[in-house]
Structure 1
Amino acid sequence: MPTKLESETIGMLLTDVSRLLRGAFDRKVNAMDLGITPGEARTLIQVALTEGIKQAEIATRMGIEPMTLSAYLDRLEAMELVARLPDPADRRAKNVVITDKADPLLSELMAGLREMMNAYTAGLDEAAREMLRGNLRILRENLRRLDPCVAGKEKGAKE
């Protein structure tokens, strides 16, 4: 008889929620018709969160290949939403920053995403939402600390 796997483990639930949220994010960004793709939107958000870090670090944080990130950044830079600046400590590296032109788009994007997340977290009061955020932070920190692959890639990265 085949082994029956448990589908309600924390890992399985997180995987399902992550997959569903990513699809919802993509659909929301497309529906907002902001002139950027969902991948570019994720990149823009990550640059805004980590202003001034190296492209390679952004790719690691996003879990994408550096070439994929480079393509997103090329398009965002062509729209004058981000700028790549030489890293003063490493002349081969580029640090990425948000431009003033990105502010209105980021504000609209984040308002739409807040609306989306409010709908998806309906039924959770503010205390439950904060508890969920806190528990997810603990899980993230444990993963970063205990997984040697993650720890090596994110060495020195801060959030």
Structure 2
Amino acid sequence: MNTSLEKESLAFLLNSSARFLNSVFERRIGEAGLGLTPGEARALLTVAAIDGSKQADIASRIGLEPMTVCTYLDKLESLDLVERRPNPDDRRSKCIYLTQASSDLLVAIRREVDSLIVQATDGFDENDLSKFHTLLTILQKNLQMAASDKSKQISQ
């Protein structure tokens, strides 16, 4: 069924927008000549957002498997952009921290992201952007709870 309503449904618009955002992000990072893959750039941005977190927390925030993120972090560590330190709360795990060397690269990545967001939100005024951010935050929180509820049902 290919109705107009189906094409404009909230789920369709959200999913389609997220795929376009991801696709354009990947292209921009690839073309920016930063020496990182889009996955590595995402991992670095995530470490910056939750500096000092465990690898599993970074993977969860990005929505990838921990082993995939481990590969990204290995590359970032080899470039001296992040470092792994022992977790003071759990000696079996390590926490990931930014290094000083990451600051210029983070500025360049954020410049690409900011440019993409400006383009994506063309036509929004400040009030629209604020409301959109608030609504997406609520949506994300609700979906995280739904995902958590589902995983609890599976483990029972």
Q: TM-score, normalised by structure 2?
A: 0.90
What is the aligned partner in structure 2 of residue 35 from structure 1? 35
What is the aligned partner in structure 1 of residue 132 from structure 2? 132
Q: What is the identity, as a one-letter code, of the residue corresponding to 1:90?
A: D
What is the aligned partner in structure 2 of residue 86 from structure 1? 86
Q: CA deviation at 1:151?
A: 7.5
User: Residues 34 and 105 of structure 1 are in contact (CA less than 8 Å); yes or no, is this contact kept in structure 2?
Assistant: yes
Residue aligned with 1:123, SS: coil
| Alpha-carbon distance in 2 for matches of 1:6, 1:147 | 24
Q: Structure 1 stretches of 5 or more lacking a match?
A: 153-159
Q: CA deviation at 1:113?
A: 1.4
| Alpha-carbon distance in 2 for matches of 1:57, 1:8 | 34
User: Residues 76 and 82 of structure 1 are in contact (CA less than 8 Å); yes or no, is this contact kept in structure 2?
Assistant: yes
What is the aligned partner in structure 1 of residue 44 from structure 2? 44
Q: What is the identity, as a one-letter code, of the residue corresponding to 1:15?
A: N
What is the aligned partner in structure 2 of residue 22 from structure 1? 22
Runs of 4+ in 1 over 3 A off after TM superposition: 2-5, 149-152
What is the aligned partner in structure 1 of residue 103 from structure 2? 103
The answer to whether 1:118 aligns with 2:118 is: yes
- Mark the CA change 1:150 to 1:35 in structure 2 (over 3 Å): closer, same or farther: farther
- Mark the CA change 1:92 to 1:40 in structure 2 (over 3 Å): closer, same or farther: same
Q: Deviations over 1:94-144 (max 9, x none)?
A: 110111100011011101211121112111111111111111011111122
Q: CA deviation at 1:26?
A: 0.3
| Alpha-carbon distance in 2 for matches of 1:12, 1:19 | 11
Q: What is the identity, as a one-letter code, of the residue corresponding to 2:52?
A: G
- Mark the CA change 1:140 to 1:151 in structure 2 (over 3 Å): closer, same or farther: farther
Q: What is the identity, as a one-letter code, of the residue corresponding to 2:35?
A: G
Q: What is the identity, as a one-letter code, of the residue corresponding to 1:145?
A: M
Q: What is the identity, as a one-letter code, of the residue corresponding to 1:116?
A: L
User: Residues 54 and 95 of structure 1 are in contact (CA less than 8 Å); yes or no, is this contact kept in structure 2?
Assistant: yes
Q: How many positions carry a matched residue from both structures?
A: 151
Residue aligned with 2:47, SS: helix
| Alpha-carbon distance in 1 for matches of 2:112, 2:26 | 12
Residue aligned with 2:138, SS: helix
| Alpha-carbon distance in 1 for matches of 2:94, 2:150 | 22
| Farther-moved stretch of structure 1 (143-152 vs 99-108) | 143-152
